[in-house]
Amino acid sequence: MSRKKLVAANWKMNGSSALVNMISTTLQSIAPQVDILICPPATLLSAFPTAHAFQLGGQDISAHVAGAYTGQISAELLLAAGARYALVGHSERREYQFETDQLIAAKVATAVAAGLTPLLCIGETLAERQQEKTEQVIAKQLAAVYASHPELLQKSVLAYEPIWAIGTGESATPEQAQQIHAFIRAELAKYDADAAQQVKILYGGSVNAENCAALFTQPDIDGALVGGASLKPEEFAQICLSAKE
C-alpha cells in the first residue's frame, strides 16, 4: 500500500521567531509537494503565519482536559494555538518526566478525542538493544496504547526512535530500521489489520540530509521525525524534498 510520506520536525527546547520566519519562507514552495509537520515549543505556535502549507504540532499534551495542572498544556489550548498534532511518549519525556506507558496511552486517547492526531514515539535503549529486547520493548509500548483501544490506531501516526540514535549522530542502517518498522506494522495488525496498513510509521534518530534518502526507500518507513537537522532550514528542506513521491 502506498502511504504519502510525512516529515516531522521536533525543535525540542529550541527555536525563535526568527527561525519561524526562516523555516516558513524556506518551506513555502516545498510544503505543497510533501506532508510536513513542525513541532516547535508551544510559545512559538502562534508565531507562524496564518497561511502556511504545513501542519503544526505540540511537543506534548496533557492527559487532562482542563484544571489545576500547572505547567501542562491541554488539547484545547494546542488547537487554539494552531496545532493539529501532538507528540506523545517521546523518549525524553519517558526518561526525564518519568512518563509511564499508562500515562502515554491516556494522552493518546485525549488527543484523539479532541481532534488532534497523536504522533506516538516508541523505541528501545542501547542496553535493551544489546540484550536483544528491542521487539519485546516495542510490543509492550504498543500494547499499552492499542490493545484495549484499537480504534485509536487509525487516527495515529507512529515514530520509531531507537533511543541510542537520538542526538548521538548514530543512526540505524536503513535495513535495521526497516526490520523494526516491519515488526511494528505486524504488531499493529494484531489490533487492526486494515489500520496497520494505513498508519504512517516514521523513523527518528539522527536523521539528516545525507542518510534520509536511503531510509525513505524502505517499504515500511513512511517519513521521518527530525531533531537537530530541523533547526537548519536548508537542510530540513533537503530532507523534505527527499520524501517527495
CATH number at residue 169: 3.20.20.70
Instruction: Summarize the annotated binding site for substrate as residue ranges.
Output: 10-12, 167, 206, 227-228
List Cβ neighbours of 7 (8 Å cut-off, separation of 6 or more): 34, 35, 36, 37, 223, 224, 226, 236, 239, 240, 243
Which of 17-21, 40-44, 128-132 has the least mean pLDDT? 128-132
Question: Domain range spanning residue 109?
Answer: 6-13+54-227
In a domain, 68, yes or no: yes
In a domain, 112, yes or no: yes
Environment class of 42 (CB within 10 Å of its CB; exposed 0-12, middle 13-18, buried 19+): middle
In a domain, 174, yes or no: yes
In a domain, 198, yes or no: yes
In a domain, 136, yes or no: yes
pLDDT of residue 172: 80
Residues belonging to the chain: 245
Please tell me the distance from the alpha carbon of residue 191 to that of residue 155, in angstroms, as a whole number: 13
pLDDT for residue 32 is more than 90: no
pLDDT of residue 9: 98
Which of 102-106, 163-167, 232-236 has the least mean pLDDT? 163-167
Q: How many domains does the chain have?
A: 1
Does 90 participate in catalysis according to the annotation?
A: yes
Does 170 participate in catalysis according to the annotation?
A: no
Instruction: Summarize the annotated binding site as residue ranges.
Output: 10-12, 167, 206, 227-228
Catalytic residue among 92, 124, 128, 161: 161
- State the pLDDT confidence band at 1, using cuts at 50, 70 and 90: low
Place of cell 484499537: 150
In a domain, 232, yes or no: no
pTM here?
Answer: 0.95
Percent of the chain scoring above 70 in pLDDT: 98
Dump pLDDT digits (tens) for 112-151. 999 999 999 999 998 898 899 999 999 999 999 999 999 9
Q: Which residue has the higher pLDDT, 151 or 205?
A: 151
Catalytic residue among 90, 99, 124, 235: 90
- State the pLDDT confidence band at 206, using cuts at 50, 70 and 90: confident
Average pLDDT score over residue span 87-99: 96
What is the overall mean pLDDT for the chain?
Answer: 95
